[in-house]
Structure 1
Amino acid sequence: MKLIDRTGAMMLGLAVVLAAGAADVAPASAKGAAARLAAQHWDLVAWSGRALPQGKPLRLDFDAANGRFSSDTGCNRTGGAFRVGRDTLRFGDGKRGFASTLMACPPPAMATERAYVDALSAVTRYRLAGHQLVLRTAKGATLTYRAAHKPAADAPRKLVYVSAETRPCSGVGRMTCLQIREKPGDRWQLHYGGIEGFTPHPGIEYRLRIIEEKIANPPADASSIRWTLDQVIEQRVVRR
């Protein structure tokens, strides 16, 4: 009888230890998963059963510190809370619970937005492999994203003007460079590195807020500075 009691106590103690261990592991795993998701921007590159909308990719972002997500929808932006586990992911509060901007767009864009928001609200699982993120709904539909560089939160910002005209320049080979300046009265200077996330249109001058980061060990023929678009402050058509 004593042996049975002791064995029962040992088994009970072991169960308590295992339960405590599981409680410790699960949050750490979820926290690590959230950090991995938040380390990159994610651009939609495939949507099962649907063609991708034209133009700028639908970009999905995660804020691990606050447990929030946000995404372009092709018309507006939507966002809300998210919950992530080892391979599970849910957006919103179970009843969608998204907050969206309310800009009106052409009917095709609005239809894409509704379908995309519905797809996000139905996501239950995810798979993260290298530079690819695949979201899967309960019915088996998939949204596939490709990682895009996400600047460090504390990287410095600065304002630059971008000319309405590009100029031929020489880098690795013959190429076309942006012309930039920091003040309206300055002379235009060639910018060889490009600006990630920025697509200029001929005949339009821009004022941009850009994020500037140093690149560790860049190739010999590449810039040691990376510029990423943070915000288009203003733009104007330049008459020739």
Structure 2
Amino acid sequence: MQTSLRGTCRTIGLRSAAFVLVTAAATLAACTTNPAPGLPSAGASLNQTQPSGPSRWELVRWQQADGTLRDIPHGDNGQPIIFEFNDGIDAAQGTVSGTSGCNRFTGSYGKTDTGIRFDRVAGTRMACPPPRMELESALLKAMETSFVTVGTQPSAGSTGRQIIWKTASGDLLQFVEREGVGRRGARMDAGGVEKTVYIDSQRVECPGVGKMMCYRWRESPDAAWQLWYGPIEGLDFEQGVSYKLRVREYQVPNPPADASAIRWQLLNVESRTRAQ
């Protein structure tokens, strides 16, 4: 796939396997900030296989305007930065929610001629370690102004669709579509195994690559507690409340060192009980 840029800027080739962001950043830095007529935009279809309904995107790379890469730390239990678009990324407008590095956020989104904008973004106010708080602050600040789409890719073999957005400060954010919509009531992926799990009312510190907070879970009310290192996609966990959940369990191929090899996607909250 190729992205054309205005004036003396040369065409950027994007490998089928991944985006060449370093080349893109160098070229964009030399270009005018006015978008080129042929520049791929969020209005251009990514040829998604599901034409409507939620889609889930993970921030996998952040290249700053000077060409350096920004570290993207994962959350306490391995969750990445996720944007969940209720009507899909190709919809003209809708609502968006997800995780911004430390907290969960909600807001709205809408198409522009050159990309996408986010409005009325609000989030929870949990404190996290400085690297995650700094990243979250930078991301939320960037979302105050529109993003320009500078590259899209329908798919890359086993990798989902990809998109690169340029922020007002010149940073390049690369997102990859992920399986699972991560929200209750939405269409679930085929496959996986359904199971019932019981979640304790408090998360606990658990060993890992770094300091982590894990759920405690068990398969029946009288079974021993076990640690759950991964996220529970779609669960708005409330401290002090225990849950009985119906989930779909998936195996994760080649998970990161600090993430779980199993993924849980929420199907239904069977019950919730506030601890005495």
TM-score by length of 2: 0.45
2:61 maps to: 46
2:258 maps to: none
1:212 maps to: 248
User: 2 CA distance for matches of 1:148 and 1:67?
Assistant: 19
Q: CA 1:112 to 1:135, structure 2 compared with 1: closer, same or farther past 3 Å? A: same
Which residue, 135, 150, 156 being the options, matches 1:112?
A: 135
1:142 maps to: 172
**Matched AA of 1:136:** K
- After TM superposition, the structure 1 = structure 2 runs for residues 112-131 of structure 1, keeping only pairs within 5 Å, are 112-126=135-149, 127-129=151-153, 130=155, 131=160
Bigger relative contact order (CA 8 A; separation at least 6): 2
Task: Compare CA radii of gyration and give the structure with the larger one.
Answer: 1
Q: Give the secondary-structure state (helix, strand or coil) at the position aligned to 1:98.
A: strand
Instruction: Name stretches of at least 5 consecutive residues in structure 1 with no aligned partner.
Output: 1-27, 163-179, 188-194, 199-205, 215-225, 235-240
User: 2 CA distance for matches of 1:123 and 1:36?
Assistant: 24
Q: Aligned residues, how many? A: 165
Q: Give the secondary-structure state (helix, strand or coil) at the position aligned to 1:209.
A: strand
User: 2 CA distance for matches of 1:80 and 1:58?
Assistant: 15
Q: CA 1:102 to 1:196, structure 2 compared with 1: closer, same or farther past 3 Å? A: closer
2:207 maps to: none
**Matched AA of 1:69:** V
Instruction: Name stretches of at least 5 consecutive residues in structure 2 with no aligned partner.
Output: 1-42, 65-69, 200-216, 233-241, 251-261
1:229 maps to: 265
**Matched AA of 1:108:** P
Deviation of residue 62 (structure 1)?
A: 0.8
> Does residue 1:160 correspond to 2:197, yes or no?
yes
> Does residue 1:88 correspond to 2:125, yes or no?
no
RMSD of equivalent CA atoms: 4.6
Q: CA 1:139 to 1:133, structure 2 compared with 1: closer, same or farther past 3 Å? A: same
Q: Deviations over 1:57-111 (max 9, x none)?
A: 111111128711113122112221110257521011xxxx321111222333322
**Matched AA of 1:45:** V
Task: Name whichever structure is richer in helix by fraction.
Answer: 1
Q: Deviations over 1:115-142 (max 9, x none)?
A: 1111222332234423212222234321
Contact conserved, 1:160 with 1:209, CA < 8 A, in 2?
yes
Q: Give the secondary-structure state (helix, strand or coil) at the position aligned to 1:114.
A: helix
User: 2 CA distance for matches of 1:208 and 1:196?
Assistant: 17
User: 2 CA distance for matches of 1:105 and 1:196?
Assistant: 18
Contact conserved, 1:210 with 1:228, CA < 8 A, in 2?
no
- After TM superposition, the structure 1 = structure 2 runs for residues 1-40 of structure 1, keeping only pairs within 5 Å, are 39-40=54-55
2:102 maps to: 75
